[in-house]
Every structure is written in structure tokens, then in C-alpha cells.
């Protein structure tokens, strides 16, 4: 028997359970249609006060909508969803009327006068969670689907909404619970001569759980990248072609391109998609000895942008390198590249970077082939031409590989930073449990570590939550969701 039960999500207060809430479910403003949603025990009574008798659930009624004083202010469709077969698990009524601000505000005010209260941001979703209609991951998937900036991001959000992420986490929790039960049994029956923890399957089970956890963590990181994206800084010497690289990424003339070194004085940022991944790419001032105070400030900003970015692309003008036949060898080229990067990173190994040799189109074909052969298999150096697009697909794949995302996102689910934190914490406790087992430490230590694994995983789906966590999650939702 497990020695400690896990805390479940908090119960709503009595006043919240009894209160019927109302809010607009569609964006505010002028539109052809707007939807106003009621949820709670009095939803049907209030709706009938506005639209007349409503008897059948899931039946569309076309009605005139009236104020508490009986004045008709709109016509529209009314839908009733009887508890528990609704989004929130409560009685829900939706008014589909004309999308004018005056019409919507009149309808909401009428519902309030009849006993409803204005919903807090995310309160409909919160009630769906508290009534076990959806778990936290699924509800966050709804928000991520709405906010998706690409088709791939939308697909991953749909994966979370339909339970792909939750099922993977719940399967892990089940495996951890089964192992906890076995270990707790060995603790409860110490008089047995058999050493339960010495059984080979215990180590095998932990190893298998760890492998599954690491796979989910990897997929979650990709899902987070699909939603949150990542930042790239373009850095290098003046006139290396950084602005041309930015324009090639964006597909437009985002930055001024001239033959004059030092044209870019400030950081230019663009939001765009790289194979479906949202990225913020920053073109920075060229790194050199500053000619004046303005350029000095621009270079300082370049350094700061580079240090804060998820990835730096060090752009080098390949025609500026000493590529004579005598120097065309790997060791000399590496020395050239190291010298070209001097002065920015200051040997900071924590900065992720790729070296991009630009302007390859200006080299003779024999030299292009020689460089390509020389750098074959180097995952951190790329030969490109921002002008012609040479090597661009290879660079895009290298960028995604460097930031930890793959080329195939079809099976991904969306994830958030809190999920990554919880999975990482679970992995740490699982590693500690494995160490305790291998060291032959008392089973109580391993049992406690596995309990913490279960708690960390439970926080993802909401099996284990706190009021603070729920408040933070649902406050980021729109009011009518």
C-alpha cells in the first residue's frame, strides 16, 4: 500500500460553484456574428428570460432577444447544452447574435441583471478542468491552437488538445505507481528473506521508464519550440552579408544592403517562420573597432543580442579569407575562422553558434568544390550564398538541429515551459532513484524519489495542482474561454 497519497486539484468554492457566469466567446468588435456564453446552474433560467422557452438540449432556436424590461434588442440562434454534456460540464447556453458592440453589451448586461456574473479570464476552461471534462494539458492545447502561428504549430496544439501528450504522461505515471507499489511492499514485509529490490526487473523497469521519459521530454521541447519559437542573432564583421542573410530569410528587403561597411548601426529584428517554426531573427551591427560613438553603441548592442539569442550565426565573407592553394587545408581554415570570430564571444562556450561562410557565389567553381570537400561532415560550418540561395536548405536543417528540433513535426504535441520544467524534475528524481537502487540504499529512499517523480508528472496534467498554478494558467486565457 502506498504510504502517501497525492494531493489532487483544489475544489472550487461554494460561491463559484453556484454562480452562473457570462462572457463573450468571440473577439470584441464589429462582426457578422458574435457568441455570448452562459455557464452554471441558472444558465437555462436566465436564457429563457432573454429568449423565451427553451426545452430541447442541442436544438437550435431562432428567437428574439429581450432585455429584462421586455425590449427586443436583437434576433439570433440560441443553443442549450445540458450538464454534464457541455464544455464546462455545467448547463451551458450560447447566444449567436449579431456582432455589434452595443448588441453584445446589452445581452451581457441583461444576463447580469438576471443573476449571472461576468466571467474571469479562463473561467469557462477552469470549470471544464474542475469538472474533469479536460485536463490542464488539453486546455492549454486549446489556447495554443488559437495562438498558433503556423500549420505545424496548429497540428502540435491539436495533439495536446486530443490527449496525445496527456496519454503519454499518464502512461508514465501508471508505470511509476506500479513500481512504487512493488517497492512499498518490500518495505512493508521486511521479514521476508527475499530481497525484492535485487530482482533484475526493478532495474529494468526504472531504465525503461527513464527512456520513455527522455523521449517525451525531447518531444515536449520540440512542441514548445513550435509554439514559442526561438531567436537567432546574425553577427560578424561589417559587409560580411548579414543584412543579405536577413533578407534571404524574410523573403523581402528588411534591411538595407550596400557595399559600404557599417551600414547597419542598430539591431534590426524580423518575426518569421523557418519551416513552420516561429523565429525572431536579428541583424546586428558589424563587429569592428568603432568609428564613432553611434557605431560603438550599435556594436555593444550586437554583443548583447548575441549573448541572449538561442543561436548565433557568425556570418563570414568567404572572399575575405586567405584561400590560396597553400592555405587551403583544414587547420589553416579553422585558424582563419577562429580569428574571424575573435572579439565577440570571448571564449564563451555557452553561446550556441554556427559559422556561415557567405558569398560562395563569388568564388570559382573549383574553389567552391574544394571548400565543400574540406568541410564535408562539419555540422557547425555552412557554405551559402544569400544572393542566390546556395546551401540554404542545408543551413535551415542545421539551425533546427542546433536548437533541438527535428525536420518531422507531424507526431508532436504542443508544450510549455512549465511542462519542460516538470519533466526535467521528474527525470532528476528518477535518476536519483536509480542511483539509490544501484548503491543498495534502503528502499524508503527509492520510494520517496519515485513519489516525487509521480508528483512532478501529475503537475503536468493537473492531477497535482495548486491554486497559484491554476490562477497563473487560466489568467492567460481570454475571458470567454
- Chain centroid to CA 392: 26
User: Of 443 and 357, which is predicted with more confidence?
Assistant: 357
Name the one residue in this structure whose C-alpha cell is 523581402: 252
Give me the pLDDT at residue 323, please. 73
Cβ atoms within 10 Å of 153's Cβ, excluding its own: 26
Task: Tell me if residue 272 falls in helix, strand or coil.
Answer: strand
Instruction: Count helices and strands (H / E) in the chain.
Output: 16, 12
**Which of 248, 218, 227, 361 shows the shortest CA–CA distance to 313?**
248
Instruction: Calculate the alpha carbon distances from 255 to 242, 251, 265, 283, 319 in Å.
Output: 9, 11, 11, 8, 22
Q: Which residue has the cell 541583424?
A: 283
User: Which range among 86-95, 228-237, 399-408 has the greatest average pLDDT?
Assistant: 86-95
The CA–CA distances, whole Å, from 413 to 69, 211, 419, 426 equal 49, 18, 12, 19
> Which residues, other chains included, contact 394 with Cβ-Cβ below 8 Å and sequence gap of 6+?
382, 384
Q: How many CB atoms lie within 10 A of CB 103?
A: 19
What pLDDT score was predicted for residue 112?
97
Region at 115 (left for phi over 0; alpha for psi -120 to 50; beta for the rest): left
pLDDT score at 69: 94
113-154 per-position pLDDT tens digit: 999 999 999 899 999 999 999 999 999 999 999 888 888 889
For the four alpha carbons of 365, 367, 371 and 373, in that order, the dihedral sign comes to: positive
Longest CA–CA span in the chain (Å) reads 94
Reference 470, options 57, 130, 207, 186; nearest CA is: 130
Residue 78 DSSP one-character state: E
More confident residue, 288 or 299: 299
φ/ψ of 80, rounded to 5, equals: -115, 125
**Average pLDDT score over the chain:** 83
- Over range 68-87, report the average pLDDT: 96
- Of these ranges, 58-67, 190-199, 373-382, the one predicted with the greatest mean pLDDT is 58-67
State the Cα–Cα distance between residues 86 and 127, nearest whole angstrom: 11
Average pLDDT over residues 186-199: 63
337: left (phi over 0), alpha (psi -120 to 50) or beta: alpha
> Is the predicted pLDDT of residue 288 greater than 80, yes or no?
no
Are the C-beta atoms of 233 and 286 separated by less than 8 Å?
no
Q: Which residue has the cell 447566444?
A: 95
Residue 108 pLDDT greater than 50, yes or no? yes
Task: Using the Cα atoms of residue 335, residue 339, residue 341 and residue 346 in order, give the sign of their dihedral.
Answer: positive
Looking at residue 263, what is its pLDDT?
Answer: 46
pLDDT for res 380: 87
Give me the mean pLDDT over the 257-268 stretch: 51
pLDDT score of 22 more than 70: yes
CB-based contact 33:44 (threshold 8 Å): no
Q: Is the pLDDT of residue 262 over 50?
A: no
Strand (E) positions, 131-177?
A: none
**Rounded distance, CA 86 to CA 65, Å?**
23
| Whether the predicted pLDDT of 281 surpasses 60 | yes
Residues 6+ apart with CB under 8 A from 372: 383
DSSP letters spanning 207-226:
HHHHHHHHHHHHHHHHHHHH
Domains and CATH numbers, the chain: 14-133 (3.30.1360.120), 136-461 (3.40.50.300)
| pLDDT at 378 (0 to 100) | 84
The closest alpha carbon to 422, from 141, 224, 276, belongs to 224
Rounded to an integer, the average pLDDT of 244-271 is 66
The average pLDDT across 175-193 equals 77
Statement: residue 13 has pLDDT above 90: no
How confident is residue 62, by pLDDT bands cut at 50, 70 and 90? very high
Given the DSSP bridges, would you call strands 117-118 and 268-274 parallel, antiparallel or unpaired? unpaired
Residue 173 reports pLDDT greater than 70: yes
Task: Return the C-alpha cell found at 231.
Answer: 531567436
CA torsion, points 226, 352, 335, 337, in degrees to nearest 10?
A: 50
Asked if residue 165 has pLDDT above 50, the reply is yes
Which position has the higher pLDDT, 112 or 381? 112
Among residues 469, 413, 405, 410, the alpha carbon closest in space to that of 167 is found at 413
Query: In 3D, which of 355, 153, 152, 392 has the Cα closest to residue 249?
Result: 392
**Residue 322, helix vs strand vs coil:** coil
Question: Which residues fall within 8 angstroms of residue 395, CB to CB, at 6 or more apart?
Answer: 354, 356, 382, 384
> Quick check: 23 pLDDT over 90?
yes
What pLDDT band is residue 197 in, cutting at 50, 70 and 90?
Answer: low
pLDDT at residue number 427: 97
Q: How far is CA 359 from the centre of its chain?
A: 35
Distances from the Cα of 95 to the Cα of 19, 31, 107, 337, angstroms: 19, 15, 9, 65
Total residues found in the chain within this entry: 481
Q: What string of H, E and C letters represents the secondary structure of 28-72? A: CCCEEEEEEEEECCCHHHHHHHHHCCCCCCCCCEEEEEECCCCCE
Do 372 and 390 form a contact (C-beta atoms < 8 A)?
no
Amino acid at each position: 500500500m502506498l504510504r502517501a497519497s497525492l494531493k489532487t486539484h483544489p475544489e472550487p468554492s461554494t460561491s463559484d460553484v453556484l454562480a452562473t457566469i457570462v462572457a463573450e466567446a468571440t473577439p470584441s468588435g464589429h462582426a457578422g456574428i458574435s457568441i455570448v456564453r452562459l455557464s452554471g446552474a441558472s444558465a437555462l433560467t436566465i436564457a429563457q428570460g432573454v429568449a423565451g422557452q427553451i426545452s430541447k438540449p442541442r436544438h437550435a432556436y431562432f428567437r428574439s432577444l429581450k432585455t429584462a424590461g421586455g425590449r427586443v434588442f436583437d434576433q439570433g440562434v440560441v443553443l442549450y447544452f445540458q450538464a454534464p454534456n457541455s464544455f464546462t460540464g455545467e448547463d451551458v447556453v450560447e447566444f449567436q447574435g449579431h456582432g455589434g458592440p452595443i448588441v453584445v453589451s446589452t445581452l451581457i448586461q441583461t444576463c447580469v441583471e438576471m443573476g449571472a456574473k461576468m466571467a474571469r479570464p479562463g473561467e469557462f476552461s477552469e470549470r471544464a478542468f474542475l469538472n474533469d471534462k479536460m485536463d490542464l494539458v488539453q486546455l492549454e492545447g486549446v489556447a495554443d491552437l488559437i495562438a498558433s502561428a503556423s500549420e505545424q504549430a496548429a497540428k502540435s496544439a491539436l495533439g495536446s488538445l486530443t490527449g496525445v501528450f496527456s496519454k503519454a504522461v499518464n502512461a508514465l505515471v501508471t508505470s511509476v505507481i506500479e513500481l512504487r507499489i512493488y517497492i512499498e511492499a518490500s518495505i512493508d514485509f521486511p521479514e521476508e528473506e527475499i530481497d525484492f529490490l535485487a530482482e533484475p526487473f526493478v532495474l529494468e523497469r526504472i531504465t525503461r521508464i527513464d527512456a520513455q521519459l527522455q523521449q517525451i521530454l525531447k518531444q515536449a521541447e520540440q512542441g514548445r519550440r513550435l509554439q514559442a519559437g526561438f531567436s537567432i542573432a546574425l553577427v560578424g564583421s561589417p559587409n560580411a552579408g548579414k543584412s543579405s542573410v536577413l533578407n534571404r530569410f524574410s523573403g523581402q528587403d528588411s534591411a538595407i544592403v550596400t557595399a559600404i561597411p557599417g551600414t547597419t548601426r542598430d539591431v534590426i529584428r524580423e518575426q518569421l517562420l523557418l519551416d513552420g517554426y516561429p523565429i525572431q531573427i536579428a541583424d546586428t551591427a558589424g563587429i569592428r573597432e568603432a568609428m564613432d560613438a553611434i557605431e560603438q553603441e550599435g556594436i555593444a548592442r550586437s554583443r548583447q543580442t548575441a549573448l541572449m539569442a538561442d543561436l548565433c550565426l557568425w556570418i563570414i565573407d568567404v572572399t575575405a579569407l586567405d584561400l590560396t592553394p597553400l592555405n587551403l587545408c583544414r587547420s589553416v581554415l579553422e585558424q582563419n575562422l577562429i580569428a574571424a570570430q575573435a572579439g565577440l564571444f570571448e571564449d564563451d562556450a555557452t553561446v550556441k553558434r554556427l559559422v556561415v561562410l557567405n558569398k560562395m557565389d563569388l568564388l570559382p567553381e573549383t574553389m567552391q568544390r574544394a571548400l565543400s570537400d574540406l568541410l564535408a561532415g562539419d555540422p557547425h560550418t555552412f557554405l551559402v550564398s544569400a544572393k542566390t540561395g546556395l546551401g540554404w536548405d542545408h543551413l535551415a536543417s542545421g539551425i533546427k538541429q542546433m536548437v533541438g528540433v527535428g525536420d518531422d513535426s507531424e507526431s508532436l504535441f504542443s508544450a510549455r515551459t512549465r511542462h519542460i520544467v516538470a519533466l526535467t524534475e521528474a527525470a532528476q528524481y528518477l535518476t536519483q532513484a536509480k542511483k539509490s537502487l544501484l548503491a543498495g540504499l534502503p528502499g524508503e529512499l527509492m520510494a520517496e524519489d519515485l513519489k516525487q517523480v509521480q508528483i512532478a508528472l501529475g503537475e503536468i496534467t493537473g492531477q497535482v495542482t495548486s491554486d497559484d498554478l491554476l490562477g497563473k494558467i487560466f489568467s492567460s486565457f481570454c475571458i470567454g474561454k
